[in-house]
Structure 1
Amino acid sequence: MNLQQLRYVVATAEHRTMTDAARSLYIAQPALSRAIRDLERELGMTLFARSGRGVVVTAQGRRVVKLAREALDAIHEIEALSTHNHSSEAELRIASTPSLEPGLAGRILPAYTSEHPGVRVHIVRCDGRDGVVNAIRSQRADLGLTDLPVPADLISHPLERQEIVLISPPGLDLPDPVPMNRLNGMRLVLPTSGSARRRELDSLFAKYGVAPVAALEAEERGNWLGPVRAGMASLLWYRGMAEQAARAGLVVRPLDPSIRRVIAIVHARRRLPAAAQEFLTVAEGGSAA
């Protein structure tokens, strides 16, 4: 038995389907099923009973899940204690996507550091929501700043709603705001096909009956503005990027109807260090919808 198996057990119990649990863990569903079967064989008990397309935690399984959660919490507390003993000052690690970091650094961090000057804050820069989720799960960060939704094994604290805008090369003949139907056939920079972010955009396009053309598919968000500057395509992203895009000579237009996403601070389902709890208090106290 190992910690990875304990994480698998907890995720399966929380999601109640192997498919959803595997997706939240970023592993293949057959690998998760095999790991659970191996653990059940090692323990000599059945942890999950198959029920339709999902699973049900057995009586023995409920006890194992409870102990697994306690063990994972204990590991986190031991690691936090170790960090405290090797540092003369408190530390707080916050994972953030590039487009949300300016708001974090410009608004929330100054308020926090003014109240808690003895805490050293580290920003863990992540490429998109999946990167933030992975940083939290691997315990490289105590908190994460990202848009919702996130997997069910994380707790989210909504802060604000950010508008999605269209960032385009200059010279395009587009109204302001841009009706959603004008996206039909438009060349866009899009996330990689099959990724969580792409599935969300595809769902949005389907809702409004539009079919943009993928001029470029990439997950590396730091390179997205380059093709737009080169006149290859337009880009859908948060208004938080508008200032950077405008400095690059690009045109930022709102959409009609307006589309917004919830921005939240997220963390694992475990006891947070004091510095992280204090950061949440400051962030939620100064948030605006």
Structure 2
Amino acid sequence: MNLQQLRYVVATAEHRTMTDAARSLYIAQPALSRAIRDLERELGMTLFARSGRGVVVTAQGRRVVKLAKEALEAVSEIEALATHTHSGGGELRIASPPTLEPGLAGRLLPAYVAEHPGVRVQIVRSDGRDGVVHAIREQRADLGLTDLPVPADLVSHPLERQEIVLISPPGLDLPDTVPMIRLNGMRLILPPPGSARRREFDQLFATYGVRPIVAAETDERGAWPSLVRTASASLLWYRGTAEQAVKAGLVVRSLDPPLRRVVALVHARRRLPAVAQDFLTSAENGRAI
């Protein structure tokens, strides 16, 4: 028996299908099934009963899953303790998409760093919400900052609601608050097709019955202000980017009805390292919602 097998057992119990569990672990489904069978043979017990729709945890399996979670949490604590001892304060890794980094670096981190000067904080830049989720599942980050919703295997702690606004080049004949129907036929800069963010926008457009004109498709957020000007197109994004847009000479307008997304800190369903728990407590004490 090894830690990898214990992680496989926990993932299978949480996802209830071998296919979904294998996907979350980034391994092939046959390899996961084989590892579970080998462990069951080694233990001399059946952990999962196979069914047409997936797997069901047996009575013995439930006990093993509980102990496996406790063992994995203990290992995480030992690793966190070792990191704390060797670094003189520990390391905290936070996954964030570029659009939320200004709020993370400008508002959440200063208060935490002031109270924990010995902790080294690493921002793991991630590609949108999916990137944050993958960074946590792959244990490349202790916490993630993203908008909701996230998959059920992660725990979320809502911090604030961020407004989605329309960022446009100057000179457009638009009211201060733009009705959603005015997006119909408007030139917009959108995320690439197939991305999670693009699917959300497409669903939003379908809800309000609008068909914008795609002026550009990119996730290069640093190039957006200049792209809005050169492409004479507008952009839908968080008000948190408004300051940068205004400095670039662009116009920021609210939408009607207003659109808001809940931004949260998220993490895996396991005991957090002390440095991560301290950051979570600090952020929740200063949250807006």
TM-score grouping bracket, smaller chain normalisation: 0.7 to 0.9
Q: CA deviation at 1:273?
A: 1.9
**Cα 1:216/1:160, change in 2 over 3 Å:** same
1:190-236 superposed Cα distances (whole Å, 9 cap, x missing partner): 22222222222222222212222333333443343342131253211
Q: CA deviation at 1:69?
A: 2.5
Match of 2:51 in 1: 50
Kept in 2, the 8 Å contact 1:143–1:267? The answer is yes
Describe the SS at the equivalent of 1:203.
helix
State which of 31, 35, 41 in structure 2 corresponds to 1:35. Answer: 31
In the alignment, residue 126 of structure 1 is paired with which amino acid? S
Kept in 1, the 8 Å contact 2:80–2:90? The answer is no
| Partner Cα distance (1:221, 1:75) in 2 | 38
**Cα 1:18/1:188, change in 2 over 3 Å:** farther
Q: CA deviation at 1:8?
A: 4.6
Quick check: 1:271 aligned with 2:271?
yes
1:41-77 superposed Cα distances (whole Å, 9 cap, x missing partner): 433456252344x543334543443344334323322
Q: Between the two proteins, what is the percent identity of the paired residues?
A: 73
| Partner Cα distance (1:4, 1:198) in 2 | 35
Instruction: Tell me which structure has the larger Cα radius of gyration.
Output: 2
Kept in 2, the 8 Å contact 1:191–1:197? The answer is yes
Kept in 2, the 8 Å contact 1:169–1:228? The answer is yes
Describe the SS at the equivalent of 2:87.
coil
Quick check: 1:214 aligned with 2:214?
yes
In the alignment, residue 176 of structure 2 is paired with which amino acid? D
Match of 1:143 in 2: 143
In the alignment, residue 33 of structure 1 is paired with which amino acid? Q
Kept in 1, the 8 Å contact 2:161–2:262? The answer is yes
Count residues in correspondence.
284
Describe the SS at the equivalent of 1:100.
helix
**Cα 1:117/1:13, change in 2 over 3 Å:** same
| Partner Cα distance (1:169, 1:134) in 2 | 35
Q: How does 1:245-264 map onto structure 2 within 5 Å? A: 245-264=245-264
In the alignment, residue 104 of structure 1 is paired with which amino acid? L
Q: How does 1:127-276 map onto structure 2 within 5 Å? A: 127-276=127-276
Describe the SS at the equivalent of 2:222.
helix
| Partner Cα distance (1:140, 1:275) in 2 | 15
| Partner Cα distance (1:229, 1:129) in 2 | 27
| Partner Cα distance (2:267, 2:29) in 1 | 26
**Cα 1:19/1:39, change in 2 over 3 Å:** closer
Kept in 2, the 8 Å contact 1:169–1:231? The answer is no
Query: What RMSD, in angstroms, separates the aligned Cα atoms of the two structures?
Result: 2.7
Q: CA deviation at 1:271?
A: 1.5
| Partner Cα distance (1:2, 1:215) in 2 | 52
Kept in 2, the 8 Å contact 1:177–1:255? The answer is yes
| Partner Cα distance (2:248, 2:149) in 1 | 30
**Cα 1:244/1:99, change in 2 over 3 Å:** same
Describe the SS at the equivalent of 1:133.
helix
**Cα 1:11/1:225, change in 2 over 3 Å:** farther
Match of 1:84 in 2: 84
| Partner Cα distance (1:4, 1:230) in 2 | 51
| Partner Cα distance (2:241, 2:232) in 1 | 18
**Cα 1:212/1:77, change in 2 over 3 Å:** same
* Runs of at least 5 residues in structure 2 that lack an aligned partner in the other structure: none
1:232-262 superposed Cα distances (whole Å, 9 cap, x missing partner): 5321110000111111122111110001000
| Partner Cα distance (1:39, 1:186) in 2 | 53
| Partner Cα distance (1:147, 1:261) in 2 | 6
| Partner Cα distance (2:220, 2:64) in 1 | 40
Match of 1:108 in 2: 108
TM-score, with length taken from structure 1: 0.85
Kept in 1, the 8 Å contact 2:164–2:239? The answer is yes
Kept in 1, the 8 Å contact 2:163–2:239? The answer is yes
Q: CA deviation at 1:173?
A: 2.1
Describe the SS at the equivalent of 1:149.
coil
